[in-house]
Amino acid sequence: MNQLELLSPAGDIEIFKAVVNAGADAVYFGGDLFGARAYAKNFTIEEAGTAIAYAHHHGSRAYLTVNTLLKNTEIERNLYTYLKEYVEAGIDAFIVQDFGVFNFIREYFPDTHIHVSTQASLCTGYGAKFFENLGATRIVTAREISIDEIKSIHSYCPDLEIESFIHGALCVCYSGQCLMSSIIGGRSGNRGRCAQPCRLPYDAFDNTGKKLNKKGAYILSPKDFCTINHLPEMIDAGVMSFKIEGRMKQLSYATGVVSVYRHYLDQFLYKGARNYSVTQEDIQKLLDYGNRSGFTDLYLRSHNGPEMITFEAPSHTKAEGQAVDISEKKTKVDCSIKALLGKPFEISFVDEKGNRVHSELGIVEASQNRPTSKDDIIKAASGLGNTVFEIGKLNIDYDDNIFIPVSTIKNARREAIDKLSQMCTIKEYPKTVLKFNELKFKGNVASQFDCFVTLTTKEQLNAILEFDFIKAIGVAPALFDEAYKVFKGDIYIYLPPVLRKSYLDKIRIDDRAAGVIAASFDELGYLSELGYPSSQIILDHRLYSFNNRSLEGFAKLGYKANCIPYELSIKELNHRDNSNSQFVVYSRIPMMITANCTVKNTVGCKKSNDIITLVDRKNENMMVSCNCEYCYNTIYNSKRYIAFDMKESIKSLGIASLRLDFTVESFKETIEILEDYNKVFNENQAFRFSEAYTRGHLKRGVE
């Protein structure tokens, strides 16, 4: 088993040093670019260099978050210089979400470790193996998965490091699958600017208008995660890095939580699982450091449930907790000195791990005037104040009436301590930095495009049969047989947005299908395991191909067909290679995919594929669709997304096909939208629509 690691967040250099001293084996932090906490203070490169050196001197590691989605201009203009500075400063690993950034690091910094962020939503060993095969040294598991699922990942990838969150705030949405903050307010969680709309109040209504939430209005707000009681089980499951959430938390929170988890990881290491026991006093300490309506550990043992939702005001509350000693931790060293007449002055140090160093300087002479006393020798040899060491036992063998210059004693001490420091410090070998080559893009060429439609119901399937311009469709596995009987074009199997181990027996990859739409890295790994041709796979918009580096990386693996993500503007898409891309021109934008079920959390599980309505503070109505086959909810935007009136701009993008995604639409609504599409794109008529709609980010983009 790999050495266990307690991983702490740090929002500034003071907190960084403090959590190292509180017991963190590693610290993750954000720089001034490309981190998922854009509103945090974050580190300058100078501060980062100091922090990295401090961590290494104390035997800890430092990881930089580079876990946002990047646009082409950001990658080609800024990323190389930015990452190079951190590599040269000795960073131990980058935490990455964007597949383009992942490939960029592998190309230009090939021996710097990459940890795949929780925003990749990895739930199975298939996704973990996908990244391991590409050179990832660690994956951070999705927060929604259980201990058994973690164990399954470890069994499938025994040599891959597994990092899991153990404490702190939870997203209600599968990480990396959230567009809610982006679509509602223009602040993208994928770009580090999440406005946390899940922490706001909502009323829920069924299709009869009956109000569902009786316990409170904060029905999308999870309690904070706390796994202190489950560390032995997580260790047994294969977790080696235990991650605390909270780069925007205060110093008292970070050091307090680290100190408690440090105590219990050490308890496990020294006493084993049989004697592992958490006191109520320490649980209370964690609550006092900060919580949202208490704690939850539900995901470790169950798929979802109302007991993990705050229901009431979800603000982070804290009490006056016990202060944590964050003074710099010193390593005790035993010192041995020999000051014998006519021989070199000798000094040796031995630390707690048995590391031994020795230094000799000068020759001990007979005293001519004032002799060097035992106290003089001890005082000069014990001056370790500016180091991480302090004297433990001291043994001295010396002759009377001798003389040793104080400078000789100090220089010998300094030489020995430098040797010991180098021995104890994490070794940072020079890392490879290869020459950067900008990825040139010649531009898109306007082209003709086909019409591709995705469906979720038989009603919608019946509706599309009336239109002969639809060349291909995507349907859920359960709808494939029905579609195959009646549709004459290409049929793709549209896999669920998230793959869990329990879903596998429900997914049938039919040989009659033209291909598959994959929505997650787990699905890419699963299809690869099946030997499914990558040329027949369409990468869904959830597999973010934000930039040309992502497209290039996917293409090298044989994945060419893709769907353009929702958060790019027309202007930005002009810099993206769209020649193999689908472009969504109609949908209800899926803002959240949640393991939690709003119906179950309010009135109880009904397993009836309900569609309910959430109403926010501004009286906007968002539809929530329950998929009971795979047990997840999708929250859709209140307004339909329609890009029909941007036809001329879309033409210039050089896309392969236009895509319409039908989800909660009735037969009638499906017919109406397809008629409008036909008028605009096939008959060149002007677009008119009777209700308010949105163009998403096509005009404004995201920061």
Distance CA 170, CA 175 (A): 9
pLDDT at 326: 82
* Letter string b/e over residues 576-589, b meaning 16 or more CB atoms within 10 A of that residue's CB: bbbebbbbbbbbbb
- CA torsion through residues 507, 513, 518, 523, sign: positive
Tokens representing 303? 């798929």
* Letter string b/e over residues 484-508, b meaning 16 or more CB atoms within 10 A of that residue's CB: eeebebebbbbbbbbbbbebeeebe
pLDDT at 373: 94
pLDDT higher than 60, residue 2: no
**pLDDT per residue over 642-656, tens digit each?**
999 999 999 999 999
Q: Residue range 52-64: average pLDDT? A: 93
Yes or no: say if 465 and 487 are a contact pair by the CB < 8 Å rule.
Answer: yes
**pLDDT per residue over 235-266, tens digit each?**
999 999 999 998 888 999 999 999 999 999 99
Tokens representing 384? 């370790």
**pLDDT per residue over 577-635, tens digit each?**
999 999 999 999 999 999 999 999 999 998 999 999 999 999 999 999 999 999 999 99
Yes or no: say if 425 and 388 are a contact pair by the CB < 8 Å rule.
Answer: no
Note the pTM of the prediction, 2 decimals: 0.93
**pLDDT per residue over 405-463, tens digit each?**
999 999 999 999 999 988 878 877 789 999 999 999 989 998 889 999 999 999 999 99
pLDDT higher than 50, residue 318: yes
Yes or no: say if 289 and 252 are a contact pair by the CB < 8 Å rule.
Answer: yes
Distance CA 528, CA 124 (A): 13
Distance CA 117, CA 67 (A): 7
Q: How confident is the model at residue 36 (pLDDT cuts 50, 70, 90)?
A: low
Residue 631: CB atoms within 10 A of its CB come to 19
**Terminal Cα-to-Cα distance of the chain (whole angstroms):** 42
Q: Which residues pair with 563 in a beta bridge?
A: 582
Q: How confident is the model at residue 344 (pLDDT cuts 50, 70, 90)?
A: very high
Q: How confident is the model at residue 321 (pLDDT cuts 50, 70, 90)?
A: low
Tokens representing 43? 């580190």
**pLDDT per residue over 541-578, tens digit each?**
999 999 999 999 999 999 999 999 999 999 999 999 99
pLDDT higher than 60, residue 38: no
Yes or no: say if 213 and 126 are a contact pair by the CB < 8 Å rule.
Answer: no
Q: Which amino acid, one-letter code, is at 147?
A: I
Structural domains of the chain, ranges and CATH numbers in brackets: 5-170+223-311 (3.20.20.70), 331-424 (no CATH), 450-588+640-694 (3.20.20.60)
Q: State the DSSP code for 544.
A: -
Residue 44: CB atoms within 10 A of its CB come to 12
**pLDDT per residue over 674-694, tens digit each?**
999 999 999 999 998 888 999
Binning the chain into helix, strand and coil, the percentages to the nearest 5 are: 35, 25, 45
Ramachandran area for residue 541 (φ above 0: left; ψ -120 to 50: alpha; else beta): alpha
Q: How confident is the model at residue 1 (pLDDT cuts 50, 70, 90)?
A: very low
Mean pLDDT estimate for the chain:
94
Q: How confident is the model at residue 325 (pLDDT cuts 50, 70, 90)?
A: confident
pLDDT higher than 90, residue 226: yes
Yes or no: say if 441 and 72 are a contact pair by the CB < 8 Å rule.
Answer: yes
pLDDT higher than 90, residue 327: no
Distance CA 364, CA 346 (A): 10
Q: Which residues contact 626 (CB under 8 A, 6 or more apart)?
A: 597, 598, 599, 608, 609, 610, 611, 612, 633
Please name which of 198, 296, 193 lies closest in space to residue 248, comparing C-alpha atoms. 193
Q: How confident is the model at residue 657 (pLDDT cuts 50, 70, 90)?
A: very high
